[in-house]
Structure 1
């Protein structure tokens, strides 16, 4: 899927895959890809700036963890991030309902089509 299709929804995607618990960058990319059935493929150049921005505004926190000899930064939702994710889900439901009603209109029985 084109990167443009994700624009505007990236924050919600990142918050959603972090909801179960902390993940490092590549695990976040893999989680989005797995949850989307392989349709969404995010690049590191896309997610790291977004993760840093979400941390700056208080929706995520991060810590450094060691994995063997390597260190990696793990991100997790803050309470504000959880509230924002709930709002993202509500907004997404409203958006998909509105678009669906335009793309797939249904006519109540008895009315002319």
Structure 2
């Protein structure tokens, strides 16, 4: 449930981004694998060398069930020519983001 709420918020923020700054070059390489349990791995690279990779896997939860844990990263070349790398993870402890370019590392509270 936490994953769904956090993921929904991330999608909402992405959809609210101004379209004038969105780069619309297609993926030149795209790999994606899914299994029957909902676990997945994906990776794609755009024409401007943005690289995104993500993995979702089922892990046992404290209540005896399973929860989908995600981890991934994306990197891109900024307008200033620097490469920016952001790593993220969503698990039973909440959603965590790490990147040297981020101004402040504040943990998100768990729901």
Per the normalisation by structure 1, the TM-score is: 0.27
Per the normalisation by structure 2, the TM-score is: 0.27
| More helix, by proportion | 1
Q: Radius of gyration: which is bigger? A: 1
